Amino acid sequence: MDDSEVVAEQAAELVERVAAIDVAKASGMLCVRLPHERIEGRRTQRVWNVGATTSAILELGDHLMCQGVTRVVMEATGSYWKPWFYLLEARGLECWLVNARNVKNVPGRPKTDKIDAVWLCKLAERGMLRPSFVPPKPIRELRDLTRLRAVFIGERSRNKQRVEKVLEDAQIKLSSVASDIFGLSGRAMLEALIGGERSPQALAALARGRLISKHNALVEALTGQFDAHHAYMCRVLMETIDRLTAQVDELSERITAQLACIAPPRPGGDGSTLPDETDPSGESGLLPLVERLDEIPGVGRTAAEVILAELGPDMRIFPTANYLASWAKLTPRTIQSGGKNTSGPTGHGNPWLKGMIGEAAMAAARTDTFLGARYRRLVKRRGHKKAIVAVARSMLVIIWHLIDDPTARFEDLGPGHHQRSVNPVRRTRDLVRQLEALGHTVTLAPVEPAT
């Protein structure tokens, strides 16, 4: 290929009409690059500031449509990109949200909003950017619900810890005896303390279930200096916990209703999946998919809802399971220099998805399943953290296949899968070599079958 062919190929890859926005809270610096009207091969560039109001963005969308702009690129800056992305996308423009890490300016140059917008536009013009995953509106609404529920659950846990701190301040050691001070027995004792009961024997008599056998320990733990101030603090915190619990339950019901309203993708003629606005199979929506994800060890219903909210039901966004694992930052980075290959950290990724997958992986590690056996094999030589990441990646591969194929169901390979797949001759040879290296003489004799 000669130089003229290279130039022609590079010109063919250029995006002819492109715009880029350096997003801020109250405004955005816009750069538009278009072909020159008279001189072939030359580009024209215009940079100006646009307000971040709805009317200004809609007017900008009409202007860009009239200019024939085919792609609008912007950085993911906090939440300020959302009105620009959603309103311009509604106008029919192709909007790309890009990671700020991939569009850093050349070091040593001054940094201004205008220079950043021009640099971003030139990168987009030459096809040097990759768009981030922005789900459709129904999935975005589902994300808002699941993320808000996670925030409320976290806040409820913090208030429970504050109640325990108040009890410790009053020399009440209930958490040393009861594993859950907010269970049936613990809640009854807390309500009695707030109501004015101070007798350790009377409080210990409220125990239920297995706590009944710990009566003496409870009497000792409930002997303290709980006064009216502690009662007031506990009452305020308990009311907050109850209110958060009611809100979490309400959000869970709303999430179920939202999942039922989202139509699952339907198979396309080429084997791909196409989003369908109507659900011909009924009103179940994505609830059957939640049930199928719930079959994975370690993945409960709440985790399945979060996974669907973060990934969506259309796996065309992630062509392969490996692509999804890489996007979720559950695949170590390969670093090669001077002929040496090393692995770097996985990266941050989506914190909501990665956190939930990590919790599910830790739960699966304690099960007698294929995933549990995988964790136990890896933790011996790689450590707990890397073993959990490996299990989380395996779970994400399973999730990709279940979402991509609407007819697939989870089937556990069993904890003995790795043993069954090992070549017995090779395994025997390796063990003999290890024993000989320790100074032993090994003699093998076949085991006679039991009669």
251-275 pLDDT tens trace:
999 999 999 999 887 654 444 444 4
**Which long-range contacts link 348-352 to residues 24+ away (Cβ below 8 Å)?**
350/310, 352/143, 352/146, 352/147, 352/150, 352/306, 352/309, 352/310
d(CA 326, CA 317): 13
Judge if pTM exceeds 0.85: no
Q: End-to-end distance of the chain based on CA atoms, in angstroms?
A: 75
- Give buried/exposed letters for 195-207 (b at 16+ CB in 10 A, else e): eeeeebeebbebb
Beta bridge partners of 75: 98
Pairing of strands 43-51, 18-23: unpaired
- For residue 334, what is the enclosing H or E element? strand 333-337
Whole-number pLDDT of residue 46:
93
Q: Could you say which residues of the chain have pLDDT below 50? A: 1-12, 268-283
Q: Angle CA(97)–CA(61)–CA(95) in degrees, nearest 5? A: 20
What pLDDT, on a 0 to 100 scale, did the predictor assign at position 344? 74
Tokens at residue 240, please? 């907050």
In whole angstroms, give the CA distance from residue 370 to residue 418.
8
| Contact between residue 132 and residue 99 where contact means Cβ atoms under 8 Å apart | yes
pLDDT attached to residue 8: 38
How far is the CA of 179 from the CAs of 182, 185, 210, 211, in angstroms?
9, 11, 11, 10
What pLDDT is stored for residue 101 in this prediction?
78
Tell me the C-alpha distance between 18 and 70, whole Å: 6
pLDDT, position 13: 66
DSSP class per residue in 369-413: SHHHHHHHHHHHHH-HHHHHHHHHHHHHHHHHHHHH-TT------
Token pair, residue 420, equals 């069954």
CA–CA gap between residue 393 and residue 414 (Å, rounded): 18
* Four-point Cα dihedral 151, 152, 154, 157, nearest 10: 170
DSSP state of 346: -
Sign (positive/negative) of CA torsion 265, 276, 258, 135? positive
